[in-house]
Amino acid sequence: MAYANFITTIGLEVHVEMKTNSKLLSPSPVNFGDAANNNTNVIDWGYPGVLPQANKGALEYGMMAALALNMEITRDIRWDRKNYIYPDNPKSYQTTQQATPIGQNGKVEITLEDGTTKTIRIKEIHVEEDAGKNTHGGDGYSYVDLNRQGTPLIEIVSEPDITSPDEAYAYLEKLRQLIQFTGISDVKMQEGSLRADANISIRPAGSDQFGTKVELKNINSFSYLRTALAFEEDRQARELIAGNTIQQETRRYDEATKSTILMRVKEGADDYRYFPEPDLPVVHISEEWINEVKNKLPESVSDRLNRYINDFDLSPTDAGVLTQTLIMSDFYDKTVGFGADPKRSANYLIGDVNAFLNENGLELQDTKITPEHLSTLIKLIDDGTISTKQAKQVFTALTQGQEPKDYVEKNGLVQESRVEILQPIIAEIVDNNEQSVIDFKAGKDRAVGFLIGQIMKQTHGNANPNVVNQILIDELNER
Amino acid sequence: MSDFVNETIESVHKALVQKEFSVTELTQRALDFTEKRDQDLNAFITLDKDGAIKQAEEIDNKGIDDDNILAGIPMGMKDNIVTKGLLTTSASKILSNFTPIYDATVVEKLKAQGVVILGKTNLDEFAMGGSTETSYYGVTKNAWDNTKVPGGSSGGSAASVASGEVLYSLGSDTGGSIRQPAAYNGIVGLKPTYGRVSRWGLIAFGSSLDQIGPLTRTVKDNALVLNAIAGVDNKDTTSANLEVPDYTKNIENGVANLRIAVPKEFLAEGIDPEVKNTINLAIEQFKSLGAIVEEVSIPHTKYGIAAYYILGSSEASSNLQRFDGVRYGFSDRTGKTLEEMYQNTRTEGFGEEVKRRIMLGTFALSAGFYDAYFKKAAQVRTILINDFNKIFENFDIIIGPTAPTPAFALGSENADPKTMYMNDVLTIPVNLAGLPGLSINAGFSSEHLPIGLQIIGKAFDEATVYKAAFAFERATQLFKQIPGGQK
């Protein structure tokens, strides 16, 4: 737990890999998981004599992210070189937007678990290139894979407004959601398409001087980051109370001990010798271009949320659940698009579908359920073809990729609504339960419930409850 | 004919079309002469005997159209321009084993014309220098006097043309590296406007200053080569998306009423009296041809060198970081750690001048010094651009000397780099402003060394520069003077 007499300040740097077809500065394809160095060319290798060619699409994606985070777009973008020598960085400099980040002065609103909201300001977002990947073989050699080298990234830098690990967590979730709905990235931490580095400092309440920052790096989930920040908050407070000072250092998270571990102590600032990239011209972003990009932006989270509430009459809570991920929201819209009732579609996704995902630890995109099938299932229930009980069975078939109508027909799951079939069954049950008829005449309603139960048992739950009810009442009244 | 000192691209082209000799015969003769001449001159790092003959045979098989002016003409390629399958060293040990897998855009364009690349010409290591003395492959000599430097960094390119080894060559110019050696060797060298010629495949030195350009015996030959290599290239996004005119079209139109500015700073203190005298005669020549010549001032000329050495070295320090011994080139793997490999490779792989500039540039970009050095230099650059723009409001071209002195003696300026740097005082401002600049022989010193006249034009107005140079050449006929070579 945090100590009451200290104030925590957290800064987050979030890197998001963008799903462009080609790299930021070369025509090589961007694709995760290909054989090492397949997606590379002379530019990616930093060959003598090569020049970069800036990818316009990557700039547009950067603009999309900036717009989604309520930022001002910088009109004249100059590229800068950040110099450092490392084998995963063949040119020995990274091309970035140090002086003119594409987006500035943004903000997002986060909601904490207790329902309170807070605005977190975003300092800047810049487009830059990713580095390659080094692996260290057991044969004494290290290996460099440059497939990732040059993949377009955006780096999102927060202002020091985050004051607790929970806020950091909520901020990251919010960023992931907002970026995801722009469609520019998969924002998957496990594939590295989203990476978050944090810095954290504490200071005594009443002090207006920030404490010494500790950096947390290489953390691969939001909840680990939250735990690491909480650990760090506590560690720093205890150090200060013990009269020690905080070192400027970089730490990583250790899952086993749920603690942070020192990676390296920083001695002075790194000197990256930034300067304007002479090989790329300044890019002017016109009003027209911004509008063009705005038009290309998919519907935002808040627009979808409002549409669900206003057009489909969903509760804000349900609308919120459906817009948590782009995949869920798209799935919902498609299900409704295939003609299913919007409210029932929402209930099905939030209820049965989510339960199935949770039980099996799956993501929606990893299942065989399709919007078309789900829509068909809901329509089969609504038009009385199958009972809700049968629907459970059909849903299981849906998760195995089966078409609901086919399944219903093959398995004779059609709900029984025919009077000529139900009438004799009901008459026989009424005949066999004279006491219930007497009770009914005496005004005891539970007799009806008992008889319906008997009928459903007899029909294996396949009888249409509305039809059964109607026939039964008529039958009883006639006695 | 054993060499090309009395020939031009045009004259040899005519002979080829008329089948006086085949391209293969021509190429063999050029190779034989160059091999002999280069024993003393050392203009080439690599003579591509097999490749050149193969190219020649292919062109002979295809035949040469009348309008295919460069087809079959032997040329020299500066060795910092990458050539597929042909060793490209940038005159550095660190690239002494580097064979590129792609062609520079200029090479591609010339190959499409059916060019014969005789070989790769010598230069100062990574084009850093003004005498070709910093080459890992030994010094090149001046074509007129083998005790003198050929200038640099395109010393090999200039000497190979002046001595008649080839009919033209390509060089690169970051602070004067085409014009100054052209001046020292009495030939025509053009640095085009920044963005006129693609830099794709030029091993970078100062990326915001570098341009590739032609070195030739005559002005018209120069225009013919520029025709072939100029134009926008999607591989170089700093190349200009502007139409390229036929530079030979109005070249003979003369200079009547052409407005010529002579900056007084270009003929001020520090300029050799013989150079001053020669340029004054050139000014009179232009007047007699009907041009209007007036004195102007570029007051910030003196800050050019300082700004250039900061900006150029800063860019170079970043550009040359990629030579780390990992992926290509010379690599010292005796060390135990990655850090040691970097250090050993770069310590052994780079020469003194290159190291000096890497250190200078690294310092100028360092935190705490950036504002005082890099930023200030960038501001000087902007001021110089404004100076030029103002003059070009009222004038068509600017003329002056190319270099403060004729070619100096080999080894004479190695002791103090600053003396060497001063040789570029008149060419550097043109690179900083991104303008086209041409050097043409304007006469000789008492030692019979050529003295270059520099003609500077408006951005992308190479046509006017050529027109003025052609008029001067037609009047003076100096290209007919032939170097002796031995002192």
Per-residue 3-state assignment (H helix, E strand, C coil) for B191-252? ECCCCCECCCCECCCCCCCCEEEEEECCHHHHHHHHHHHECCECCECCCCCCCCCCCCCCCC
Backbone angles phi, psi at B350, to 5 degrees: -100, 145
Element holding B63 (H helix, E strand): none
Look up residue B296 and give its two tokens.
């102007």
- Runs of H (alpha helix) within A115-254: 165-182, 222-241
User: How many Å lie between the alpha carbon of A225 and the closest alpha carbon of chain B?
Assistant: 32
Considering only CB atoms, A85 lies closest to which of B329, B342, B365, namely: B342
More confident of the two residues A254 and A411: A254
pLDDT above 70: residue B229 = yes
Mean pLDDT of chain A: 92
Considering only CB atoms, A51 lies closest to which of B81, B199, B366, namely: B199
Confidence (pLDDT) at B485: 61
Look up residue A110 and give its two tokens.
């986060």
Alpha carbons B346 and B318: distance in angstroms, whole number: 14
Alpha carbons A130 and A82: distance in angstroms, whole number: 12
Alpha carbons A465 and B335: distance in angstroms, whole number: 85
User: How many Å lie between the alpha carbon of B204 and the closest alpha carbon of chain A?
Assistant: 6
Tens of pLDDT, residues B151-179: 999 999 999 999 999 999 999 999 999 99
List the single residue in B with minimal CA-CA distance to A93: B318
Say which range, A451-460, B429-438, B445-454, has the weakest mean pLDDT.
A451-460
Contact B400, B266 (CB under 8 A): yes
Chain B residues with beta carbon closer than 8 angstroms to that of A50: 200-201
Backbone angles phi, psi at A382, to 5 degrees: -65, -35
Centroid of chain to Cα B481 = 21
Centroid of chain to Cα A18 = 15
Percentage of residues in chain A having pLDDT higher than 90: 72
Tens of pLDDT, residues A81-120: 999 999 999 999 999 999 999 999 999 999 998 889 999 9
- Annotated catalytic sites of B, by residue? 78, 153, 177
The residues on B that touch A, with CB distances below 8 Å, are: 81-82, 88, 90, 95, 98, 100-102, 104, 199-204, 206-208, 234-238, 314-315, 317-318, 321-324, 326-329, 338, 342, 362, 365-367, 370, 374, 378
Contact B351, B359 (CB under 8 A): no
Residue A299 DSSP label: P
Mutate to test the interface with B, among A41, A51, A89, A279 (most CBs of B within 10 A): A51
pLDDT above 60: residue B1 = no
Query: Which pLDDT band holds residue B459 (cuts at 50, 70, 90)?
Result: very high
For B332-422, where are the E strands, in sequence order? 397-401
Chain A residues with beta carbon closer than 8 angstroms to that of B98: 48
List the single residue in B with minimal CA-CA distance to A278: B208
User: How many Å lie between the alpha carbon of A124 and the closest alpha carbon of chain B?
Assistant: 22
Contact B314 A275 (CB under 8 A): yes
Binding-face residues of A in 155-194 toward B, CB within 8 A: none
- Identity of the amino acid at A442: A
Identify whether B153 is preceded by a cis peptide bond (ω within 30 of 0).
Answer: yes
Residue A170 exposure: Cα atoms within 13 Å on the Cβ side: 20
Contact B324 A85 (CB under 8 A): yes
User: How many Å lie between the alpha carbon of B472 and the closest alpha carbon of chain A?
Assistant: 36
Instruction: Return left, alpha or beta for A146; rule: phi > 0 is left, psi -120 to 50 is alpha, else beta.
Output: alpha
Contact A85 B321 (CB under 8 A): yes
Say which range, A395-399, B215-219, B437-441, has the weakest mean pLDDT.
A395-399
Confidence (pLDDT) at A280: 98
Tens of pLDDT, residues A303-324: 999 999 999 999 999 999 999 9
Residue B448 DSSP label: -
Count CB atoms within 10 A of the CB of residue B1. Answer: 15
- Which CATH number does the domain A419-478 belong to among 1.10.10.410, 3.40.50.80, 3.40.640.10, 3.20.20.80? 1.10.10.410
Backbone angles phi, psi at A121, to 5 degrees: -85, 145
Look up residue A177 and give its two tokens.
């959601």
Residue with tokens 């000192």: B5
Contact A45 B237 (CB under 8 A): no
Confidence (pLDDT) at A462: 77
Sheet with A214-219, edge to edge strand ranges: A72-73, A103-111, A117-129, A152-158, A6-17, A194-204, A214-219, A249-254, A259-265
Q: Could you tell me the end-to-end alpha-carbon distance of chain B, in angstroms, rounded to an integer?
A: 23
Opening angle at CA A61, ends A55 and A67, nearest 5: 140
pLDDT above 90: residue A454 = no
Angle between helices A326-337 and A301-312 (to 10 degrees): 30
B44 Cβ contact list (under 8 Å, min separation 6): B34, B38, B76, B118, B119, B120, B121, B122, B156, B160, B165
Chain B residues with beta carbon closer than 8 angstroms to that of A87: 324, 326, 338
B276 Cβ contact list (under 8 Å, min separation 6): B267, B401
Q: Is A178 helix (H, G, I), strand (E, B) or coil?
A: helix
Confidence (pLDDT) at B279: 98
pLDDT above 60: residue A263 = yes
Residue A436 exposure: Cα atoms within 13 Å on the Cβ side: 23
Confidence (pLDDT) at A414: 76
Alpha carbons A188 and A176: distance in angstroms, whole number: 9
Tell me chain A's radius of gyration from C-alpha atoms.
30
CB of A282 within 8 Å of any CB in chain B?
Answer: no
Domain spans of chain A? 6-284, 299-410, 419-478
User: How many Å lie between the alpha carbon of B95 and the closest alpha carbon of chain A?
Assistant: 9
User: How many Å lie between the alpha carbon of A328 and the closest alpha carbon of chain B?
Assistant: 41
Confidence (pLDDT) at A463: 82
Contact A87 B208 (CB under 8 A): no
Contact B326 A274 (CB under 8 A): no
Tens of pLDDT, residues B284-315: 999 999 999 999 999 999 899 999 999 999 99
Contact A28, A44 (CB under 8 A): yes
Mutate to test the interface with A, among B202, B210, B317, B327 (most CBs of A within 10 A): B327
Chain A residues with beta carbon closer than 8 angstroms to that of B338: 87, 142
> What ipTM does the predicted assembly reach?
0.96
Considering only CB atoms, B235 lies closest to which of A51, A54, A281, namely: A51
Alpha carbons B286 and B260: distance in angstroms, whole number: 9
Tens of pLDDT, residues B234-290: 999 999 999 999 999 999 999 999 999 999 999 988 899 999 999 999 999 999 999
CB of A52 within 8 Å of any CB in chain B?
Answer: yes
| Domains observed in chain B | 1-487 (3.90.1300.10)
Contact B328 A273 (CB under 8 A): no
Confidence (pLDDT) at A192: 85
CB of A280 within 8 Å of any CB in chain B?
Answer: yes
More confident of the two residues B206 and A393: B206
More confident of the two residues B420 and A13: A13
More confident of the two residues A448 and B399: B399
Tens of pLDDT, residues B334-359: 999 999 999 999 999 999 999 999 99
Tens of pLDDT, residues A114-132: 889 999 999 999 999 999 9
Considering only CB atoms, A81 lies closest to which of B101, B203, B318, namely: B318
Mean pLDDT of chain B: 96
Chain A residues with beta carbon closer than 8 angstroms to that of B323: 48
Confidence (pLDDT) at A2: 56
Pairing of strands A194-204, B437-444: unpaired
Chain B residues with beta carbon closer than 8 angstroms to that of A136: none
**Chains A & B: contacts with CB separation below 8 Å:** 100
Count CB atoms within 10 A of the CB of residue B99. Answer: 14
Contact B222, B361 (CB under 8 A): no
Count CB atoms within 10 A of the CB of residue B17. Answer: 17
* CB-count burial class (<10 Å; 0-12, 13-18, 19+) for B149: buried
Task: Output the CA–CA distances (angstroms, integers) from residue A31 to A23, A153, A177, in the order listed.
Answer: 10, 14, 22
Confidence (pLDDT) at A373: 95
- Is the four-CA dihedral B363, B368, B370, B371 of positive or negative sign? negative
Query: Which pLDDT band holds residue B486 (cuts at 50, 70, 90)?
Result: low
Query: Which pLDDT band holds residue A439 (cuts at 50, 70, 90)?
Result: confident
